[in-house]
Amino acid sequence: MARDYYGILGVSKGASDDEIKRAYRKLARQLHPDVNPDPEAQEKFKDINAAYEVLSDDRKRQIVDLGGDPLAPGGGAGGPGGPGGAGPFVGFQDIMDAFFGGAAGAGRGPRPRTRPGADAILRLELDLQETAFGVEAPITVDTAVLCTTCTGAGTAAGTHLATCEACGGRGEVQSVQRTFLGQVVSARPCTVCQGYGTTIPTPCPTCAGDGRVRTRRSLTVKIPAGVEDGMRIRLAQQGEVGPGGGTAGDLYVEIHERPHDVFSRKGDDLHCRVTVPMTAAALGTRLTIKTLDSEEPVDVKPGTQPGSTLRLRARGVPHLRGTGRGDLYVHLDVRTPTKLDADQERMLREFAKTRGEEVAELSKQGGFFSRMRDAFNGHA
């Protein structure tokens, strides 16, 4: 019985060459023995290779479409390229393409010893005062720096890199296997040189061949005015030096703003709460508000209600971009006196009376429930 080569690749009978190629690459990536050592996967890998061999060849595909099997012994193909035929059925290039994308093949070879370094991130805690107006903050970073003994080369003084004998400097070793499906060419990074193509016969004693050493560095980072919690400041090339002394990555300083005792921040606006006595709210008063950087006289108008807000323009955080500042919002709480002496109580009752406001006298022993009862019984 003919095998379902379309089904093996998961494509339809009408699939274009491109679709077949894509489907094959996708599966080859998952099933390649270097990636997936599972024996079942290896069987499948053979299957998809067979399917690709057949479906990527117009003549063989035609045989399949006519119900035959070009790979079956005597299955109708017979010509060159049949089982055990000459030449690899799936080129080395195809497998490499499946792994590295179309651009592979060209320019592959030993991987460079010198590679770019990694970025680093550092958390910096600042007070509101500092995020608002900027600061020059000292920081220490644990990072990799260039090894000054070998200046990144990794070799001891007076010695040099040697070409890897195992791979002849190519950084990879190829093996050709003949299987019942044809010959399979595969390439693996050379384990002797880790794919570099060179070895270090005498490593630098300071960095052991890495070309960089770990150290603690002290820097000063200039924090601009108006930064916000969570923002990152990039210090170009202050991150880790790469292996082999490669270009340093960047250092990101992440701002964390400590909560302020008085002000809460929303964007560039600040908010705070101020409590004024009931009498001040009723009669009006002048407050002095201590802002982040000044003292401002603020008038509380007579008859101010609890929850009112006063806005002090441009007393918030300076804008990071552009000019100007956010505003400061002062939320007013009105404090009702909690303990009145006899005189004060009498005056307040009189005050209420002059305003025609009815104030029930709470009986000394009457709690909440007796008041409720009185309310229901009509005693107000």
Give the residues lining the site for Zn ion (CB under 5 A): 147, 149-150, 164, 166-167, 190, 192-193, 204, 206-207
Please state the length of the chain. Answer: 380
- The answer to whether 143 and 180 are in contact (CB under 8 A) is no
- The answer to whether 331 and 307 are in contact (CB under 8 A) is yes
Q: How far is residue 348's CA from residue 339's CA, in Å, rounded to a whole number?
A: 12
Measured N-to-C along each axis, helices 39-55 and 17-31 cross at an angle, to the nearest 10 degrees, of 160
Q: In this complex, which beta carbon is closest to Zn ion, that of residue 164 or of residue 281?
A: 164
Minimum CB–partner distance for residue 147 and Zn ion (Å): 3
Q: In this complex, which beta carbon is closest to Zn ion, that of residue 208 or of residue 314?
A: 208
Residue with tokens 């009105």: 334
Measured N-to-C along each axis, helices 39-55 and 58-65 cross at an angle, to the nearest 10 degrees, of 100
Minimum CB–partner distance for residue 290 and Zn ion (Å): 56
How far, CA to CA in Å, does 86 sit from each of 49, 175, 178?
A: 16, 17, 11
How far, CA to CA in Å, does 197 sit from each of 4, 106, 108, 158, 171?
A: 43, 17, 12, 20, 4
Q: In this complex, which beta carbon is closest to Zn ion, that of residue 207 or of residue 310?
A: 207
On whether 164 is known to bind a ligand per the annotation, the reply is yes
Beta strands in 40-193 (DSSP E): 120-126, 135-146, 162-163, 172-179, 182-189
Q: In this complex, which beta carbon is closest to Zn ion, that of residue 27 or of residue 150?
A: 150
Minimum CB–partner distance for residue 93 and Zn ion (Å): 22
Minimum CB–partner distance for residue 186 and Zn ion (Å): 16
Q: In this complex, which beta carbon is closest to Zn ion, that of residue 140 or of residue 191?
A: 191
- The answer to whether 150 and 206 are in contact (CB under 8 A) is yes
Q: In this complex, which beta carbon is closest to Zn ion, that of residue 135 or of residue 241?
A: 241
Q: Exposure of 14 by Cβ count < 10 A (0-12 exposed, 13-18 middle, 19+ buried)?
A: exposed
Minimum CB–partner distance for residue 174 and Zn ion (Å): 12
Minimum CB–partner distance for residue 248 and Zn ion (Å): 16
Q: In this complex, which beta carbon is closest to Zn ion, that of residue 206 or of residue 291?
A: 206
Minimum CB–partner distance for residue 172 and Zn ion (Å): 8
On whether 272 is known to bind a ligand per the annotation, the reply is no
Tokens of 277: 């006595």
Residue 2 carries which DSSP code? -
Q: Which residues sit in the known binding site for Zn(2+)?
A: 147, 150, 164, 167, 190, 193, 204, 207
Q: Which residues sit in the known binding site?
A: 147, 150, 164, 167, 190, 193, 204, 207
